[in-house]
C-alpha cells in the first residue's frame, strides 16, 4: 500500500509540474529567400530586391535594395539605396509586419506594412512616413521569389 501511495504521489508531482505553455511555432523560415519586383512611375523604373533571412524565432531581417533608373537631360542615371530592416515580425506562416525607422540618404523614414505570402509571391503595401516632415507615401508591391 505504501508503494502504491508513493507511486500516486510521484505521478501527481509529475503531472503538476507539467508546463502549460504552448510551444512557440517559428514562422520566420517560411519567408527566407531572395525576392524582386520592378515598378515604373513617371518615366522612372524602380527595381526592388529583398534578401530575407531568419534573425531569430519569428524575427526576419530584410536587406532591401531599391535601384532607380531614370533619364536626366538625355543621360541615363542610376541611384541605388540600400537599407536593412532588422525587426520584421513573422505573425503566422503567411504574414509578417514591418514597422521600423530607417535612414535613406540622410533622411529618416518610418516604414510600415503587412506582407502576405502566397506561393512564391509576397504582396505588401508599404507606407513610408518622413520623420522630418510627416509626409506619407504608399506603394503596393508584389515581390516574386527568385
The pLDDT-based confidence of 13 (bands split at 50, 70, 90) is low
The answer to which of 9-13, 26-30, 58-62, 140-144 has the lowest mean pLDDT is 9-13
Going from the C-alpha of 66 to that of each of 44, 49, 50, the distances in angstroms are: 12, 7, 9
Predicted pLDDT of residue 23: 84
> In the chain, what are the domains?
32-145 (2.40.128)
pLDDT at residue 111 tops 90:
yes
What pLDDT shows up at residue 9?
57
Give CA–CA dist 73/133, Å, rounded: 29
The number of CA neighbours under 13 Å toward the Cβ of 144 is 5
Rounded to whole angstroms, the Cα distance separating 134 from 119 reads 35
CA 125 – CA 116 distance, rounded (Å): 10
pLDDT tens digit string along 127-145? 999 999 999 999 999 999 9
The whole-number pLDDT of residue 8 equals 57
Looking at residue 14, the DSSP 8-state letter turns out to be H
**Distance between CA 59 and CA 105 in Å, rounded?**
26
Confidence (pTM): 0.82
Cell, residue 123: 504582396
Task: Provide, rounded to the nearest whole percent, the portion of the chain with pLDDT above 70.
Answer: 86
Amino acid at each position: 500500500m505504501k508503494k502504491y501511495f508513493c507511486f500516486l504521489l510521484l505521478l501527481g508531482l509529475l503531472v503538476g509540474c507539467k508546463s502549460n505553455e504552448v510551444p512557440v511555432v517559428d514562422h520566420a523560415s517560411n519567408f527566407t529567400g531572395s525576392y524582386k519586383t520592378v515598378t515604373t512611375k513617371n518615366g522612372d523604373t524602380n527595381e526592388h530586391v529583398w534578401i530575407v533571412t531568419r534573425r531569430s524565432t519569428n524575427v526576419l531581417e530584410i536587406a532591401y535594395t531599391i535601384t532607380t533608373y531614370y533619364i536626366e537631360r538625355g543621360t541615363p542615371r542610376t541611384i541605388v539605396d540600400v537599407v536593412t530592416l532588422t525587426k520584421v515580425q513573422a505573425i503566422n506562416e503567411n504574414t509578417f509586419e514591418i514597422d521600423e525607422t530607417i535612414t535613406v540618404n540622410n533622411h529618416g523614414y518610418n516604414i510600415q506594412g503587412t506582407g502576405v505570402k502566397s506561393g512564391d509571391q509576397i504582396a505588401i503595401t508599404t507606407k513610408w512616413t518622413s520623420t522630418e516632415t510627416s509626409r506619407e507615401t504608399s506603394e503596393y508591391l508584389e515581390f516574386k521569389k527568385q
